[in-house]
Protein backbone atom coordinates (compact mmCIF):
# COMPACT_ATOMS: atom_id res chain seq x y z
CA UNK A 1 0.00 0.00 0.00
CA UNK A 2 1.50 3.30 -1.10
CA UNK A 3 1.87 5.97 1.56
CA UNK A 4 -0.54 8.90 1.29
CA UNK A 5 0.86 12.19 0.05
CA UNK A 6 -0.31 15.73 0.68
CA UNK A 7 -2.60 17.51 -1.77
CA UNK A 8 0.18 19.97 -2.48
CA UNK A 9 2.68 17.19 -3.30
CA UNK A 10 0.13 15.40 -5.49
CA UNK A 11 -0.67 18.62 -7.33
CA UNK A 12 2.99 19.44 -7.95
CA UNK A 13 3.57 15.87 -9.12
CA UNK A 14 0.76 16.25 -11.66
CA UNK A 15 2.35 19.44 -12.94
CA UNK A 16 5.63 17.59 -13.47
CA UNK A 17 3.77 14.76 -15.23
CA UNK A 18 2.05 17.19 -17.60
CA UNK A 19 5.39 18.78 -18.42
CA UNK A 20 6.89 15.34 -19.01
CA UNK A 21 3.97 14.42 -21.28
CA UNK A 22 4.62 17.58 -23.28
CA UNK A 23 8.26 16.61 -23.67
CA UNK A 24 7.15 13.18 -24.94
CA UNK A 25 5.11 14.90 -27.67
CA UNK A 26 8.12 17.06 -28.53
CA UNK A 27 10.28 13.88 -28.65
CA UNK A 28 12.53 15.21 -25.89
CA UNK A 29 12.59 11.91 -24.10
CA UNK A 30 15.50 12.51 -21.72
CA UNK A 31 13.74 15.62 -20.39
CA UNK A 32 10.53 13.61 -20.10
CA UNK A 33 12.31 11.07 -17.90
CA UNK A 34 13.69 13.89 -15.75
CA UNK A 35 10.20 15.29 -15.08
CA UNK A 36 8.63 11.88 -14.49
CA UNK A 37 11.40 11.36 -11.93
CA UNK A 38 10.29 14.57 -10.18
CA UNK A 39 6.67 13.44 -10.22
CA UNK A 40 7.60 10.05 -8.75
CA UNK A 41 9.73 11.65 -6.03
CA UNK A 42 6.66 13.63 -4.92
CA UNK A 43 4.08 10.87 -5.37
CA UNK A 44 5.72 7.43 -5.61
CA UNK A 45 2.41 5.59 -5.41
CA UNK A 46 0.97 6.83 -8.71
CA UNK A 47 1.23 3.97 -11.19
CA UNK A 48 0.71 6.21 -14.24
CA UNK A 49 4.03 7.96 -13.69
CA UNK A 50 5.93 4.68 -13.94
CA UNK A 51 3.93 3.62 -16.99
CA UNK A 52 4.65 6.90 -18.76
CA UNK A 53 8.30 6.85 -17.80
CA UNK A 54 8.50 3.34 -19.22
CA UNK A 55 7.44 4.73 -22.60
CA UNK A 56 10.10 7.46 -22.45
CA UNK A 57 12.75 4.86 -21.57
CA UNK A 58 11.73 2.77 -24.59
CA UNK A 59 12.16 5.79 -26.83
CA UNK A 60 15.65 6.25 -25.33
CA UNK A 61 16.36 2.53 -25.97
CA UNK A 62 16.76 1.98 -22.22
CA UNK A 63 14.79 -1.24 -22.38
CA UNK A 64 15.99 -2.62 -19.05
CA UNK A 65 14.80 0.54 -17.26
CA UNK A 66 11.53 0.42 -19.21
CA UNK A 67 10.86 -3.10 -17.95
CA UNK A 68 11.61 -2.10 -14.35
CA UNK A 69 9.15 0.82 -14.63
CA UNK A 70 6.48 -1.39 -16.18
CA UNK A 71 6.99 -3.95 -13.38
CA UNK A 72 6.45 -1.23 -10.75
CA UNK A 73 3.40 0.10 -12.56
CA UNK A 74 1.84 -3.40 -12.63
CA UNK A 75 2.70 -3.91 -8.96
CA UNK A 76 0.77 -0.73 -8.12
CA UNK A 77 -2.11 -1.41 -10.54
CA UNK A 78 -2.29 -4.91 -12.08
CA UNK A 79 -5.13 -3.80 -14.36
CA UNK A 80 -3.21 -0.99 -16.10
CA UNK A 81 -3.06 -2.30 -19.65
CA UNK A 82 -0.44 0.12 -20.95
CA UNK A 83 2.16 -1.30 -18.58
CA UNK A 84 1.83 -4.78 -20.10
CA UNK A 85 1.97 -3.27 -23.56
CA UNK A 86 5.15 -1.33 -22.77
CA UNK A 87 6.86 -4.23 -21.05
CA UNK A 88 6.06 -6.30 -24.13
CA UNK A 89 7.53 -3.63 -26.43
CA UNK A 90 10.72 -3.49 -24.33
CA UNK A 91 11.10 -7.26 -24.40
CA UNK A 92 10.49 -7.26 -28.15
CA UNK A 93 13.31 -4.76 -28.57
CA UNK A 94 15.56 -7.17 -26.65
CA UNK A 95 14.34 -10.00 -28.92
CA UNK A 96 12.70 -11.76 -25.96
CA UNK A 97 9.70 -12.77 -28.04
CA UNK A 98 8.15 -15.27 -25.65
CA UNK A 99 8.15 -12.82 -22.74
CA UNK A 100 6.64 -10.16 -25.01
CA UNK A 101 3.94 -12.57 -26.14
CA UNK A 102 2.92 -13.29 -22.54
CA UNK A 103 2.39 -9.58 -21.92
CA UNK A 104 0.52 -8.98 -25.17
CA UNK A 105 -1.84 -11.79 -24.15
CA UNK A 106 -2.26 -10.32 -20.67
CA UNK A 107 -2.95 -6.88 -22.15
CA UNK A 108 -5.50 -8.28 -24.60
CA UNK A 109 -7.55 -9.62 -21.67
CA UNK A 110 -7.95 -6.07 -20.40
CA UNK A 111 -8.39 -4.45 -23.83
CA UNK A 112 -9.66 -7.15 -26.23
CA UNK A 113 -10.92 -4.65 -28.84
CA UNK A 114 -7.76 -2.53 -29.12
CA UNK A 115 -6.85 -2.88 -32.85
CA UNK A 116 -3.17 -2.02 -32.47
CA UNK A 117 -2.81 -4.46 -29.60
CA UNK A 118 -4.57 -7.20 -31.58
CA UNK A 119 -2.23 -6.65 -34.51
CA UNK A 120 0.89 -6.79 -32.36
CA UNK A 121 -0.38 -9.89 -30.57
CA UNK A 122 -1.02 -11.70 -33.86
CA UNK A 123 2.35 -10.72 -35.30
CA UNK A 124 4.19 -11.68 -32.12
CA UNK A 125 2.41 -15.04 -32.09
CA UNK A 126 3.50 -15.57 -35.70
CA UNK A 127 7.10 -14.63 -34.88
CA UNK A 128 7.20 -17.11 -31.98
CA UNK A 129 5.77 -19.86 -34.22
CA UNK A 130 8.45 -19.13 -36.82
CA UNK A 131 11.14 -19.15 -34.11
CA UNK A 132 9.95 -22.51 -32.78
CA UNK A 133 9.76 -23.92 -36.31
CA UNK A 134 13.29 -22.77 -37.11
CA UNK A 135 14.61 -24.34 -33.90
CA UNK A 136 12.88 -27.63 -34.70
CA UNK A 137 14.44 -27.74 -38.18
CA UNK A 138 17.83 -26.35 -37.17
CA UNK A 139 20.81 -28.05 -38.78
CA UNK A 140 23.58 -29.07 -36.34
CA UNK A 141 26.27 -26.40 -36.39
CA UNK A 142 28.95 -28.75 -37.66
CA UNK A 143 26.79 -29.61 -40.68
CA UNK A 144 26.00 -26.03 -41.72
CA UNK A 145 27.48 -24.95 -45.04
CA UNK A 146 28.17 -21.19 -44.84
CA UNK A 147 26.15 -19.21 -47.38
CA UNK A 148 29.16 -17.17 -48.49
CA UNK A 149 30.90 -20.35 -49.70
CA UNK A 150 28.01 -21.01 -52.10
CA UNK A 151 28.57 -17.77 -54.04
CA UNK A 152 30.37 -18.27 -57.36
CA UNK A 153 30.99 -14.82 -58.81
CA UNK A 154 31.86 -16.17 -62.24
CA UNK A 155 28.37 -17.63 -62.54
CA UNK A 156 26.74 -14.22 -62.04
CA UNK A 157 26.65 -12.47 -65.40
CA UNK A 158 26.67 -8.69 -65.77
CA UNK A 159 24.31 -8.02 -68.65
CA UNK A 160 25.33 -5.72 -71.50
CA UNK A 161 22.21 -3.69 -70.68
CA UNK A 162 23.44 -2.95 -67.16
CA UNK A 163 23.61 0.84 -66.81
CA UNK A 164 25.04 1.17 -63.31
CA UNK A 165 28.62 1.36 -62.10
CA UNK A 166 30.97 -1.37 -63.31
CA UNK A 167 34.06 -2.93 -61.78
CA UNK A 168 37.22 -3.39 -63.81
CA UNK A 169 38.98 -6.74 -63.88
CA UNK A 170 42.62 -7.59 -63.24
CA UNK A 171 44.77 -9.86 -65.38
CA UNK A 172 43.27 -12.94 -63.72
CA UNK A 173 39.78 -11.76 -64.60
CA UNK A 174 38.91 -10.94 -60.99
CA UNK A 175 36.64 -7.95 -60.23
CA UNK A 176 38.64 -5.18 -58.56
CA UNK A 177 37.46 -2.30 -56.38
CA UNK A 178 38.97 1.01 -57.50
CA UNK A 179 38.43 4.52 -56.20
CA UNK A 180 36.68 5.38 -59.47
CA UNK A 181 34.27 2.50 -58.92
CA UNK A 182 33.57 3.59 -55.32
CA UNK A 183 32.80 7.16 -56.41
CA UNK A 184 30.57 5.93 -59.26
CA UNK A 185 28.80 3.57 -56.84
CA UNK A 186 28.09 6.42 -54.43
CA UNK A 187 26.60 8.50 -57.25
CA UNK A 188 24.40 5.56 -58.26
CA UNK A 189 23.23 5.20 -54.67
CA UNK A 190 22.28 8.87 -54.59
CA UNK A 191 20.08 8.21 -57.64
CA UNK A 192 18.34 5.32 -55.88
CA UNK A 193 20.11 2.58 -57.86
CA UNK A 194 21.22 -0.74 -56.41
CA UNK A 195 24.48 -2.49 -57.17
CA UNK A 196 24.53 -5.33 -59.65
CA UNK A 197 24.38 -8.55 -57.62
CA UNK A 198 27.79 -9.69 -58.89
CA UNK A 199 29.48 -6.51 -57.71
CA UNK A 200 27.60 -6.58 -54.43
CA UNK A 201 28.89 -10.07 -53.67
CA UNK A 202 32.39 -9.17 -54.90
CA UNK A 203 32.51 -6.36 -52.33
CA UNK A 204 31.12 -8.49 -49.47
CA UNK A 205 33.45 -11.41 -50.14
CA UNK A 206 36.41 -9.07 -50.66
CA UNK A 207 35.79 -7.45 -47.28
CA UNK A 208 35.43 -10.87 -45.63
CA UNK A 209 38.78 -11.94 -47.05
CA UNK A 210 40.41 -8.98 -45.29
CA UNK A 211 38.61 -8.87 -41.95
CA UNK A 212 38.69 -12.58 -41.14
CA UNK A 213 42.50 -12.37 -40.90
CA UNK A 214 42.38 -9.65 -38.23
CA UNK A 215 42.61 -10.22 -34.46
CA UNK A 216 39.75 -9.43 -32.10
CA UNK A 217 41.47 -6.17 -31.12
CA UNK A 218 43.44 -4.47 -33.91
CA UNK A 219 46.44 -2.20 -33.29
CA UNK A 220 46.49 0.83 -35.62
CA UNK A 221 48.65 3.93 -35.98
CA UNK A 222 47.86 7.53 -36.89
CA UNK A 223 50.06 8.74 -39.77
CA UNK A 224 52.94 11.10 -39.04
CA UNK A 225 52.11 14.56 -40.28
CA UNK A 226 48.47 13.56 -40.80
CA UNK A 227 45.37 12.70 -38.80
CA UNK A 228 43.34 9.67 -37.78
CA UNK A 229 39.53 9.92 -37.66
CA UNK A 230 37.16 7.98 -35.41
CA UNK A 231 33.43 7.95 -36.17
CA UNK A 232 30.62 6.57 -34.04
CA UNK A 233 27.25 5.11 -35.01
CA UNK A 234 25.99 6.09 -38.48
CA UNK A 235 22.91 3.79 -38.44
CA UNK A 236 21.84 3.75 -42.06
CA UNK A 237 21.83 7.56 -42.40
CA UNK A 238 23.63 7.50 -45.76
CA UNK A 239 23.47 11.21 -46.57
CA UNK A 240 24.80 12.21 -43.14
CA UNK A 241 27.48 9.55 -43.54
CA UNK A 242 28.56 11.09 -46.87
CA UNK A 243 28.63 14.49 -45.19
CA UNK A 244 31.44 13.24 -42.94
CA UNK A 245 33.56 12.74 -46.06
CA UNK A 246 32.56 16.17 -47.35
CA UNK A 247 33.79 17.72 -44.11
CA UNK A 248 36.84 15.57 -43.50
CA UNK A 249 37.91 14.10 -46.84
CA UNK A 250 37.45 10.65 -48.33
CA UNK A 251 39.21 7.77 -46.59
CA UNK A 252 42.60 7.02 -48.10
CA UNK A 253 46.02 5.75 -47.16
CA UNK A 254 46.86 9.27 -45.99
CA UNK A 255 43.46 9.92 -44.36
CA UNK A 256 42.61 6.79 -42.34
CA UNK A 257 39.26 6.24 -40.60
CA UNK A 258 37.84 3.97 -37.94
CA UNK A 259 34.06 3.46 -37.95
CA UNK A 260 33.17 2.18 -34.50
CA UNK A 261 30.16 -0.05 -35.15
CA UNK A 262 26.41 0.31 -35.78
CA UNK A 263 26.73 1.02 -39.49
CA UNK A 264 23.30 -0.46 -40.15
CA UNK A 265 19.68 -0.59 -38.85
CA UNK A 266 17.34 2.27 -37.95
CA UNK A 267 18.06 4.45 -40.99
CA UNK A 268 16.78 3.23 -44.35
CA UNK A 269 20.02 3.36 -46.34
CA UNK A 270 21.98 0.77 -44.39
CA UNK A 271 22.77 -1.15 -47.60
CA UNK A 272 24.34 1.92 -49.18
CA UNK A 273 26.49 2.57 -46.11
CA UNK A 274 27.72 -0.99 -45.67
CA UNK A 275 28.58 -1.41 -49.34
CA UNK A 276 30.51 1.87 -49.28
CA UNK A 277 32.40 0.87 -46.13
CA UNK A 278 33.13 -2.66 -47.34
CA UNK A 279 34.28 -1.37 -50.74
CA UNK A 280 36.61 1.10 -49.01
CA UNK A 281 37.87 -1.74 -46.82
CA UNK A 282 38.75 -3.67 -49.99
CA UNK A 283 40.44 -0.58 -51.45
CA UNK A 284 42.32 0.53 -48.31
CA UNK A 285 42.57 -2.53 -46.05
CA UNK A 286 45.10 -0.89 -43.70
CA UNK A 287 43.50 2.56 -43.62
CA UNK A 288 39.74 1.97 -43.31
CA UNK A 289 39.00 0.20 -40.05
CA UNK A 290 35.67 -1.29 -38.99
CA UNK A 291 34.51 -2.50 -35.58
CA UNK A 292 31.46 -4.57 -34.84
CA UNK A 293 28.59 -2.88 -33.02
CA UNK A 294 25.62 -4.43 -31.27
CA UNK A 295 23.61 -3.83 -34.46
CA UNK A 296 25.90 -5.93 -36.63
CA UNK A 297 24.09 -8.95 -35.24
CA UNK A 298 21.34 -11.28 -36.42
CA UNK A 299 18.72 -10.41 -33.80
CA UNK A 300 19.12 -6.65 -34.18
CA UNK A 301 19.10 -6.83 -37.99
CA UNK A 302 15.89 -8.84 -37.94
CA UNK A 303 14.15 -6.28 -35.73
CA UNK A 304 15.59 -2.92 -36.77
CA UNK A 305 15.59 -3.07 -40.54
CA UNK A 306 18.86 -4.24 -42.09
CA UNK A 307 17.70 -7.77 -42.85
CA UNK A 308 14.46 -6.49 -44.38
CA UNK A 309 16.31 -3.84 -46.37
CA UNK A 310 18.75 -6.31 -47.93
CA UNK A 311 15.92 -8.71 -48.70
CA UNK A 312 13.96 -5.89 -50.36
CA UNK A 313 16.84 -4.37 -52.32
CA UNK A 314 18.78 -7.56 -53.06
CA UNK A 315 18.10 -11.17 -51.92
CA UNK A 316 17.42 -13.28 -48.85
CA UNK A 317 20.68 -15.13 -49.42
CA UNK A 318 22.63 -11.87 -49.36
CA UNK A 319 21.15 -11.05 -45.95
CA UNK A 320 22.47 -14.40 -44.71
CA UNK A 321 25.92 -13.69 -46.18
CA UNK A 322 26.06 -10.32 -44.44
CA UNK A 323 25.15 -12.04 -41.17
CA UNK A 324 28.12 -14.37 -41.58
CA UNK A 325 30.53 -11.57 -42.48
CA UNK A 326 29.43 -9.42 -39.54
CA UNK A 327 30.54 -12.22 -37.22
CA UNK A 328 34.12 -11.70 -38.42
CA UNK A 329 34.29 -7.96 -37.72
CA UNK A 330 36.90 -7.04 -35.08
CA UNK A 331 35.55 -6.03 -31.68
CA UNK A 332 38.01 -3.30 -30.76
CA UNK A 333 41.01 -1.22 -31.81
CA UNK A 334 43.99 0.34 -30.05
CA UNK A 335 45.30 3.57 -31.60
CA UNK A 336 48.99 4.41 -31.10
CA UNK A 337 49.11 2.08 -28.07
CA UNK A 338 47.16 4.76 -26.19
CA UNK A 339 43.43 4.72 -26.96
CA UNK A 340 41.21 1.66 -26.62
CA UNK A 341 38.26 1.97 -29.01
CA UNK A 342 35.24 -0.29 -28.54
CA UNK A 343 31.60 0.08 -29.53
CA UNK A 344 29.96 -0.42 -26.12
CA UNK A 345 32.24 -0.42 -23.13
CA UNK A 346 33.99 -2.23 -20.32
CA UNK A 347 33.65 -5.35 -18.27
CA UNK A 348 32.08 -7.07 -15.28
CA UNK A 349 35.49 -8.37 -14.21
CA UNK A 350 38.28 -6.28 -12.69
CA UNK A 351 41.19 -8.17 -14.24
CA UNK A 352 40.52 -8.00 -17.98
CA UNK A 353 43.58 -7.57 -20.20
CA UNK A 354 43.90 -7.00 -23.94
CA UNK A 355 45.40 -10.49 -24.13
CA UNK A 356 42.14 -11.85 -22.69
CA UNK A 357 40.17 -10.04 -25.39
CA UNK A 358 42.35 -11.62 -28.09
CA UNK A 359 41.84 -15.14 -26.77
CA UNK A 360 38.24 -16.06 -27.72
CA UNK A 361 36.58 -16.94 -31.03
CA UNK A 362 34.55 -13.95 -32.18
CA UNK A 363 33.07 -15.73 -35.22
CA UNK A 364 29.61 -16.11 -33.70
CA UNK A 365 26.51 -14.25 -32.69
CA UNK A 366 27.16 -12.48 -29.37
CA UNK A 367 26.34 -14.41 -26.19
CA UNK A 368 24.15 -12.92 -23.45
CA UNK A 369 27.11 -12.32 -21.14
CA UNK A 370 30.88 -12.20 -21.09
CA UNK A 371 33.56 -10.13 -22.79
CA UNK A 372 31.99 -10.05 -26.26
CA UNK A 373 28.57 -9.02 -24.97
CA UNK A 374 30.10 -6.31 -22.79
CA UNK A 375 32.27 -4.91 -25.60
CA UNK A 376 29.13 -4.49 -27.72
CA UNK A 377 26.56 -3.40 -25.11
CA UNK A 378 28.01 -1.83 -21.93
CA UNK A 379 27.51 1.86 -21.06
CA UNK A 380 29.25 4.31 -18.71
CA UNK A 381 27.66 5.81 -15.60
CA UNK A 382 28.59 8.70 -13.36
CA UNK A 383 28.54 6.66 -10.14
CA UNK A 384 31.50 4.59 -9.04
CA UNK A 385 31.47 0.85 -9.50
CA UNK A 386 29.10 -1.16 -11.65
CA UNK A 387 25.32 -1.38 -11.98
CA UNK A 388 22.77 -3.35 -14.00
CA UNK A 389 22.33 -1.99 -17.50
CA UNK A 390 19.49 0.40 -18.25
CA UNK A 391 19.31 -1.44 -21.60
CA UNK A 392 18.76 -4.83 -20.01
CA UNK A 393 21.99 -6.20 -21.55
CA UNK A 394 25.58 -6.18 -20.17
CA UNK A 395 26.26 -3.52 -17.49
CA UNK A 396 27.03 0.08 -16.59
CA UNK A 397 30.51 1.00 -15.36
CA UNK A 398 31.82 3.98 -13.43
CA UNK A 399 34.94 6.17 -13.68
CA UNK A 400 36.88 3.97 -11.28
CA UNK A 401 36.33 0.97 -13.57
CA UNK A 402 37.57 2.96 -16.56
CA UNK A 403 40.71 4.17 -14.79
CA UNK A 404 41.53 0.70 -13.46
CA UNK A 405 41.17 -0.86 -16.91
CA UNK A 406 43.46 1.76 -18.46
CA UNK A 407 46.10 1.36 -15.75
CA UNK A 408 46.02 -2.43 -16.03
CA UNK A 409 46.57 -2.28 -19.78
CA UNK A 410 48.97 0.69 -19.90
CA UNK A 411 46.53 2.80 -21.92
CA UNK A 412 45.39 6.42 -21.65
CA UNK A 413 41.86 6.68 -23.03
CA UNK A 414 38.69 4.71 -23.78
CA UNK A 415 36.65 5.75 -26.83
CA UNK A 416 33.23 4.26 -27.35
CA UNK A 417 29.99 4.99 -29.20
CA UNK A 418 26.63 3.22 -28.76
CA UNK A 419 24.64 6.12 -27.26
CA UNK A 420 23.10 9.28 -28.68
CA UNK A 421 24.76 12.46 -27.43
CA UNK A 422 23.05 15.83 -27.86
CA UNK A 423 26.27 17.50 -28.99
CA UNK A 424 27.54 14.44 -30.85
CA UNK A 425 30.09 13.59 -28.18
CA UNK A 426 30.84 13.76 -24.47
CA UNK A 427 34.04 13.58 -22.43
CA UNK A 428 33.35 11.65 -19.25
CA UNK A 429 35.02 9.82 -16.37
CA UNK A 430 37.41 12.66 -15.56
CA UNK A 431 38.55 12.87 -19.16
CA UNK A 432 39.46 9.19 -19.51
CA UNK A 433 36.38 8.17 -21.53
CA UNK A 434 34.90 9.68 -24.68
CA UNK A 435 31.57 8.81 -26.32
CA UNK A 436 31.22 9.74 -30.01
CA UNK A 437 28.00 9.41 -32.03
CA UNK A 438 27.92 10.25 -35.74
CA UNK A 439 24.23 10.05 -36.71
CA UNK A 440 22.82 13.60 -36.39
CA UNK A 441 19.10 14.04 -35.77
CA UNK A 442 19.02 10.33 -35.05
CA UNK A 443 16.04 8.62 -36.66
CA UNK A 444 14.89 12.03 -37.94
CA UNK A 445 13.57 13.12 -34.55
CA UNK A 446 16.21 13.28 -31.80
CA UNK A 447 17.56 16.70 -32.78
CA UNK A 448 21.12 15.81 -31.78
CA UNK A 449 24.29 16.83 -33.55
CA UNK A 450 26.71 14.29 -34.96
CA UNK A 451 30.43 14.34 -34.31
CA UNK A 452 33.70 12.66 -35.18
CA UNK A 453 37.14 12.70 -33.56
CA UNK A 454 40.42 13.46 -35.26
CA UNK A 455 43.78 12.64 -33.70
CA UNK A 456 46.94 14.42 -34.79
CA UNK A 457 49.51 11.97 -36.07
CA UNK A 458 52.30 14.01 -34.46
CA UNK A 459 51.20 14.67 -30.87
CA UNK A 460 48.01 12.56 -30.69
CA UNK A 461 45.99 15.67 -29.84
CA UNK A 462 42.25 14.98 -29.89
CA UNK A 463 39.85 17.30 -31.74
CA UNK A 464 36.09 17.10 -32.19
CA UNK A 465 34.11 18.12 -35.26
CA UNK A 466 30.36 18.56 -34.84
CA UNK A 467 27.90 18.56 -37.71
CA UNK A 468 24.15 18.77 -38.28
CA UNK A 469 21.87 16.56 -40.33
CA UNK A 470 21.60 17.16 -44.06
CA UNK A 471 18.58 16.73 -46.30
CA UNK A 472 17.74 13.29 -47.57
CA UNK A 473 15.07 11.73 -49.81
CA UNK A 474 11.65 11.28 -48.23
CA UNK A 475 12.12 7.78 -46.90
CA UNK A 476 11.37 7.43 -43.20
CA UNK A 477 13.61 5.67 -40.69
CA UNK A 478 12.59 2.09 -39.94
CA UNK A 479 11.14 1.71 -43.43
CA UNK A 480 12.31 -1.92 -43.44
CA UNK A 481 12.00 -2.64 -39.71
CA UNK A 482 9.94 -5.47 -38.32
CA UNK A 483 6.39 -4.15 -38.20
CA UNK A 484 5.31 -5.96 -35.04
CA UNK A 485 7.72 -3.73 -33.14
CA UNK A 486 7.47 -0.47 -35.03
CA UNK A 487 4.04 -0.49 -36.61
CA UNK A 488 3.08 -0.19 -40.26
Strands (E), 371-412: 379-380, 386-388, 395-397
- Residue 93 to residue 305: CA distance in whole angstroms: 12
Q: At what angle do helices 47-59 and 81-93 cross, to 10 degrees?
A: 20
Alpha helices in 212-353 (DSSP H): 238-248, 270-283, 298-304, 306-313, 316-326
HSE-CB for 424 with a 13 A CA cutoff: 21
Residue 395 phi/psi, 5° resolution?
Answer: -155, 175
Instruction: Please report the sign of the dihedral spanned by the C-alpha atoms of residue 73, residue 78, residue 82, residue 85.
Output: positive
What length is written for the chain? Answer: 488
Strands lying side by side in the sheet with 332-335: 217-220, 332-335, 339-342, 413-416, 433-436, 425-428
- Residue 156 to residue 317: CA distance in whole angstroms: 14
Cβ neighbours of 43 (radius 10 Å): 23
- Residue 482 to residue 439: CA distance in whole angstroms: 21
Contact in structure between 287 and 253 (CB atoms under 8 Å): yes
HSE-CB for 347 with a 13 A CA cutoff: 17
Q: Is 295 a catalytic residue?
A: yes
- Residue 227 to residue 256: CA distance in whole angstroms: 7
List, in order, residues 6 or more apart from 365 with CB less than 8 Å away. 297, 298, 299, 327
Three-class DSSP category at 443? helix
The secondary structure of 93-138 as a DSSP string is: HTT-HHHHHHHHHHHHHH-TT-HHHHHHHHHHHHHHHHHHHHHHHP
Q: With 0-12 CB in 10 A as exposed, 13-18 as middle and 19+ as buried, what is 217?
A: buried
Q: Which of 235, 295, 418, 429 is catalytic?
A: 295
Parallel, antiparallel, or unpaired: how do β-strands 339-342 and 413-416 relate?
A: parallel
What residues are annotated to the active site? 295
Amino acid sequence: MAAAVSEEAASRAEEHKLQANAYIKEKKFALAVEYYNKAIDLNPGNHVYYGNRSLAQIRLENYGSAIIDADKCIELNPGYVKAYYRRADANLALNKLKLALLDFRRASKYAPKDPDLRRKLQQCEKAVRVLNFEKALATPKEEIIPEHTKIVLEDIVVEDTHTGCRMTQNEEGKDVVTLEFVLDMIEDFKKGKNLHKRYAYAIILGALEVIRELPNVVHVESPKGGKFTVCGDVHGQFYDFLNIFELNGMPSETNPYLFNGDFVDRGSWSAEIIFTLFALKCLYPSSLHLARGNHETKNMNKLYGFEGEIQAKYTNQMADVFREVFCWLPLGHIINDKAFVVHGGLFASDDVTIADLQSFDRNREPPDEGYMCEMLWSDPQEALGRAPSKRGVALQFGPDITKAFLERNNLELVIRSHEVRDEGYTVEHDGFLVTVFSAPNYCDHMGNKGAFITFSGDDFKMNFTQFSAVEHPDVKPMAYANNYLFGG
